[in-house]
Amino acid sequence: MKKEELVKHLDNAAIERDAWIRRNWYYHDALKKLICFLIPTNIQVLEVGSATGELLHAAQPSHGVGIDISPKMVEIAKNKYKNIEWHVDDIENLALRERFDAIIMSDVVGSLDDVVSAFANLNKVSHESTKVVITFYNYLWEPILRLAEFLHFKRKQPLQNWLSPKDVESMLQLTGFEVIKSGNRMILPVYMPLISNFLNRYVGNLPLVRKLGVIQYVVARPIPKEKRDFSVSIVLPCRNEKGNIENAVKRIPQFGTYTELIFVEKGSMDGTYEEIARVANEYAGKKNIKYFQAKIDSKGDKVREAFERAAGDILMILDSDLTMPPEDLPKFYNAIASGRGEFINGSRLVYQLENDSMRIINIFGNKFFSVVFSWLLGQRLKDTLCGTKVLFKKDYEMIAQGRKYFGDFDPFGDFDLLFGAAKLNLKIVEMPIRYRARTYGSTNIQRWRHGWLLIKMVFLAMRKIKFV
């Protein structure tokens, strides 16, 4: 369809759009829920193909801009949502030059004449951390949707591009973007009391079955172009680790524009805090060391308190048992500073484990959680429970702001950060490490009690991530 004909079609559709949304409310509500899950509130958001504005309004941006090629769609949106900017613009010949934190393209790629040019123009409105959320119909549904149009259950659409997720991913790659995650939603797009919600929330999230969802989505980000230098804060949560403190200070290398060590202690019975104070005094002027006692004796709370006090651009967690070699920390720094990932997670399950470093039950538990969490988060994870995790402080602050979505449920801090990173669509990359046996003290993990707690966290994540 020529551009002039498409504009005329959309102008005519604008008049009836609200009526069709009310008629197919179940589908449109599901689309809103998906967008609101994938995009944090109170950020700067652009919607391409914004139509009459319902989706962008639901996203609750701090600054929202909607563009559409239909003047009538834009006119209606302006009258309905006056707190958002609306412009007549064409993503294939984009005039807008403002940068946004997130970009929505919902049910747009099917009607574009040149998808590659449209994706290329997204670079004009993106910065290095922008997330692009694209939804489109599953091509397996083409005959069903055409039948629905024929029977007047759905408004008739112009001839569509029926693209597969691989098609979209390839075109994004060609234009400087990489896909972080993708998925499907909604195997039954009409409302049937009890049946629809059960099928879509539970059955529709099962392996293989989920591929049948009518809504396909991808989340992408700009491919990093250059490495920058950043300051670093390394947090070492401590409990009964007196014999490891000085070794940690000696072995942690200097990297980045500035490196600070933050020891946070609570609950020790072996004089750990006094040892931290002694070492900090001895190495004053040689290493940048902060230390304090936490309010609550849990690793998660210790890390959160230390992150609040951290001055670095990049935040790192290093378990003070030193089972993860401190000498490997520059590898994590290089991965995040170069933009290869936005959340770097250590993985102990790649290389051969050192004798006595991990019990067999822990190995099986870690493998179980890796499979479950790869499914839950939509990104591959081999080791969810490795203590070494690295992220930007600006991203951590957004995780903290959105923590109420999952609740304060995690005494360890690992799942809290992983859930938050996945919710923000950060690109999670795993860094293989050589996991060593302890040389001082014993583990603070109570395997069976803590294992049961971790399983409960998995069910919470299912409810909050998959069964929304």
- In the chain, what are the domains? 3-222 (3.40.50.150), 231-466 (3.90.550.10)
The DSSP bridge partners found for residue 134 are 105, 218
Residues of the chain below pLDDT 50? none
What's the Cα-to-Cα distance from 235 to each of 264, 289, 395, 440, rounded to whole Å? 7, 10, 16, 19
Selection from 304, 302, 316, 234 nearest residue 265 by Cα = 302
Look at residue 226 in the predicted model and tell me its pLDDT: 79
State the virtual CA torsion across 71, 74, 75, 78 in degrees, nearest 10. Answer: -160
Contact 79, 57 (CB under 8 A): no
What are 362-396's pLDDT values in tens digits?
666 667 776 777 777 777 777 777 889 999 999 99
**Lookup: tokens for 278:** 């002694």
Residue 213: is it exposed, middle or buried by C-beta count within 10 angstroms (0-12/13-18/19+)?
Answer: buried
Contact 47, 66 (CB under 8 A): yes
Question: What residues have CB less than 8 Å from 201, skipping those under 6 apart?
Answer: 467, 468
Of the CA atoms within 13 Å of residue 128, those in its CB half-sphere come to: 12
Look at residue 227 in the predicted model and tell me its pLDDT: 82
Look at residue 444 in the predicted model and tell me its pLDDT: 56
Of the CA atoms within 13 Å of residue 364, those in its CB half-sphere come to: 5
Contact 384, 455 (CB under 8 A): no
What are 247-301's pLDDT values in tens digits?
999 999 999 999 999 999 999 999 999 999 999 999 998 999 999 999 988 888 9
Question: What residues have CB less than 8 Å from 8, skipping those under 6 apart?
Answer: none
Angle of helix 393-401 relative to helix 414-423, nearest 10 degrees, comes to: 90
Look at residue 426 in the predicted model and tell me its pLDDT: 93
* 60-65, Cβ contacts within 8 angstroms, sequence gap of 24 or more: 60/36, 61/102, 65/96, 65/98, 65/100
Q: Are strands 215-222 and 177-185 parallel, antiparallel or unpaired?
A: antiparallel
Question: What residues have CB less than 8 Å from 99, skipping those under 6 apart?
Answer: 44, 125, 126, 127, 130
